[in-house]
Amino acid sequence: MTQLFFEYGAMGSGKSIEILKVAHNYESQGKKVLLMTPDVDDRSGVGVIYSRIGLKRKAAAIAKDENIYQKVLKNHENLAAVLIDEAQFLQPEQVDQLARIVDELNIPVMTFGLRQDAFNQLFPGSKRLFEIADKLEEMKTICTFCGKKAITQLRVVDGKPQYTGDQVFIGGNESYVPVCRKHWYHPDMKRIEQLFSN
C-alpha cells in the first residue's frame, strides 16, 4: 500500500543512517529511488545526506520554493520510492506535494526529520507531516544527561544552553545534544562543559 511516512526523532536518533539503509535495501533489489534533502542543510555540502557515523551520499537538493511534485513527475518512470532527509525544513506546501506524489503517482514517500526545534516548537514541515502523513514512527535515542528517552535537542552555543534565537541553526554534535524534557529545562552544566570544552 502506497503511503506517506514520517519517521521522526531527536538529533542523534539515527534518522540519516536509516534513510541510507532504506535506499540501499531498495537498490540491492534493483529498484530505483530518489534521495532528496533540503538545500538549507549544508553541513556536508548542499545535496548531501550525512550520518553521524560517517556514511554519506549525494542527494537531490530541494530549494525552499521548489515544487517537489513537478520534479518527481518529470522523473517518475520506474521510481520505487521517494526518500527525503531533514524533512522538518520542508515548506508546508511541499509536504502537500509529497501527498500528491503518493496519491496521484502511486509512489511511496518516506520522510525523516526532527519533530521540533531546539525551543520545543514544531517545525512547519514536521507540523504538516503530523497533520497529513499516513504513518508516523518515532525513532528513539537517549538523553545525554540521564539515559531516559530523549524527546528533543538542546542547543549549546559558546558553552551555554540557548532558549531563544533563530529556529533554523544548522549544526551537529558541536551545537546540539539530545535531551529529555527534564534536562532540556535543567541541563547538567558540568556535563555540558565536558562535552563542549574543545
Rounded-to-integer distance, Cα 189 and Cα 160, Å = 8
Sorted by sequence, the CB contacts under 8 Å of residue 143 that are 6+ apart come out as 149, 150, 178, 179, 180, 183
Rounded-to-integer distance, Cα 50 and Cα 91, Å = 21
The C-alpha cell at 126 is: 514536521
Rounded-to-integer distance, Cα 186 and Cα 103, Å = 44
Nearest CA-CA partner of 78 in 31, 36, 35, 25? 31
CB atoms within 10 A of CB 187: 19
Number of alpha carbons in the 13 Å side-chain half-sphere of residue 18: 19
E runs forming strands in 3-145: 4-8, 32-38, 48-50, 56-58, 60-62, 79-84, 109-113, 135-138
Q: Does 27 qualify as catalytic in the annotation?
A: no
User: Of the listed 77, 86, 93, 131, which one is catalytic?
Assistant: 86
The C-alpha cell at 132 is: 497529513
Active site positions, annotated: 86
